[in-house]
């Protein structure tokens, strides 16, 4: 509304502003200040459902467990958060049903334009208009391999807003049951699949962590950009011929590159994760003469074997406690 009505060329105020600031969701690091007595895991749980929007965070009572809070907020018909996802779309869009289908398709795993169009009952030629609209609203983001040019056709789409991602995945999916007052099925679904759901959230946190360390000289070099990287494995059989690296950060001037994996797992990360990352890095085509570094970000720490290997090979091992030393482990 501000962009269209106040900053647009047709607005009476156009040209009179002295500056502008886009108010974005808070960083994960700042969410801790809402719940200073909670552990890192509990804060990640909340962040995965609400993102960094202060209004949504205020609905979570630190005296209750995460699942008790879900029952009282997202899964309660009387709560603001129960209808907030649909409300956001109806406030911003003229055809909310079509956009809901698109967001639902992405929340269920459709990431490529053809998949999204098919699951949204749209013609492929009509999809770009809808995607552009919800990208401008910061609901969805476009991703391409970080080492490819922005014009590459290797493009996927993901829900950018953590709140909407959770709402479509767990609230809308169970809407019929929740309308009848049955919360148990939704709660069981979250208990069963939330760790897998948080994998993408933990990658976002990992990027934030690396940006933070980069700004303070806490990495082996200062990178210029970072993002996900994926591509084909030469000569590999179909179905096993793709690699994916959670985070790659690089500096084109110094020809230095960092490969990083983020693991939101209850067990400690062992040496096999590092060796797999090294293997995948070998498929990455970038700068023949380059200096490589490796990093692992783990929810639960690292095995003794991995710590010993890290000392020998200079691997950077990070946990949430390294990023938020003031928070509880």
The pLDDT-based confidence of 10 (bands split at 50, 70, 90) is confident
Does residue 86 share a domain with residue 229?
Answer: no
Question: Is residue 299 within 8 Å of 320, Cβ to Cβ?
Answer: yes
Lowest average pLDDT, out of 126-140, 171-185, 314-328, goes to 314-328
Residue 187 lies in a domain: no
23 within domain boundaries = no
Question: Is 256 found in the same domain as 172?
Answer: no
The rounded mean pLDDT for the chain is: 92
Please identify, among 126, 151, 182, the residue that sits at the C-terminal boundary of a domain.
182
Residue 119 located in a structural domain:
yes
pLDDT mean over 216-238 = 93
- pLDDT at res. 157: 96
Which pLDDT score is estimated for 288?
85
Question: pTM to 2 decimals?
Answer: 0.91
121 and 91, same structural domain?
A: yes
Co-location of 178 and 214 in the same domain: no
Decide: 94 and 181 in contact? Cβ < 8 Å.
no
User: Are residue 159 and residue 284 in the same domain, yes or no?
Assistant: no
Domain boundary among 155, 182, 209: 182
274 φ, ψ (degrees, to nearest 5): -65, -45
In a domain, 122, yes or no: yes
Residues 247 and 257: their CA atoms lie apart, in Å, by: 11
Task: Looking at the structure, tell me whether residues 173 and 205 fall in a common domain.
Answer: no
| Number of residues that make up the chain | 329
User: In this structure, are 206 and 114 located in the same domain?
Assistant: no
Counting the structural domains of the chain, the total is 2
Q: What is the predicted pLDDT for the residue at 294?
A: 98
pLDDT in tens, 93-121: 888 999 999 999 999 999 999 999 999 99
- In this model, does residue 27 exceed pLDDT 70? yes
CATH of the domain at 299: 3.40.1350.10
Per the structure, the complete domain to which residue 128 belongs is given by 28-182
Identify any residues that bridge with 20 across adjacent strands, giving them in sequence order.
none
Instruction: Identify whether residues 162 and 212 lie together within a single domain.
Output: no
Does 258 lie in the same domain as 141? Answer: no
**174 and 211 together in one domain:** no
Residues 6+ apart with CB under 8 A from 140: 102, 103, 106, 131, 134, 157, 158, 159, 160
For the sheet with 225-232, list strands across it.
225-232, 242-251, 256-263, 291-298, 316-319
Identify whether residues 159 and 263 lie together within a single domain. no
Q: How far is CA 188 from CA 76, 107, 180, in A?
A: 15, 18, 16
The answer to whether residue 13 scores a pLDDT higher than 90 is no
Q: What is the pLDDT of residue 153?
A: 86
Same domain flag for 145 and 235 = no
**For the residues 163-173, what does the mean pLDDT come to?**
95
Question: Given this model, what pLDDT does residue 149 score?
Answer: 86
> Which residue among 136, 152, 182 closes a domain?
182
Q: Which has more confidence, 150 or 5?
A: 150
Phi-psi region at 93: left, alpha or beta (left = phi > 0; alpha = psi -120 to 50) = beta
């Amino acid at each position: 509304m501000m962009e269209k009505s106040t900053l647009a060329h047709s607005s009476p105020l156009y040209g009179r502003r002295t500056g502008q600031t886009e108010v974005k969701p808070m960083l994960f690091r700042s969410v801790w200040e809402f719940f200073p007595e909670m552990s890192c895991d509990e804060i990640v749980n909340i962040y995965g459902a609400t993102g960094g929007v202060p209004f949504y965070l205020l609905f979570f009572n630190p005296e209750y467990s995460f699942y008790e809070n879900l029952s009282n907020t997202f899964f309660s018909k009387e709560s603001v958060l129960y209808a907030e996802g649909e409300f956001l779309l109806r406030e911003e869009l003229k055809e909310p049903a079509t956009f809901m289908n698109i967001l639902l398709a992405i929340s269920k795993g459709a990431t490529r334009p053809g998949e999204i169009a098919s699951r949204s009952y749209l013609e492929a030629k009509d999809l770009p208009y809808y995607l552009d609209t919800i990208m401008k609203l910061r609901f969805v983001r476009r991703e391409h391999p970080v080492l490819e040019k922005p014009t590459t056709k290797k493009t996927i789409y993901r829900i950018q807003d953590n709140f909407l991602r959770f709402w479509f995945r767990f609230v809308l999916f169970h809407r019929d049951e929740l309308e009848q007052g049955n919360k148990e099925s939704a709660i069981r679904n979250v208990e069963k699949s939330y760790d897998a759901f948080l994998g993408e959230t933990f990658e976002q946190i990992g990027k934030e962590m690396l940006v933070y360390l980069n700004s303070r000289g806490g990495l082996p070099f200062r990178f210029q950009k970072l993002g996900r990287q994926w591509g084909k494995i030469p000569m590999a059989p179909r179905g096993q011929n793709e690699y994916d690296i959670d985070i790659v950060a690089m500096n084109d001037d110094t020809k230095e590159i960092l490969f990083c994996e983020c693991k939101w797992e209850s067990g400690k990360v062992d040496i096999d994760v590092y060796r797999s990352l090294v293997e995948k890095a070998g498929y990455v085509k970038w700068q023949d003469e380059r200096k490589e570094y490796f990093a692992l970000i783990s929810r639960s720490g690292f095995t003794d074997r991995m710590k010993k290997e890290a000392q020998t090979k200079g691997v950077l091992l990070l946990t949430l406690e390294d990023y938020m030393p003031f928070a509880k482990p």
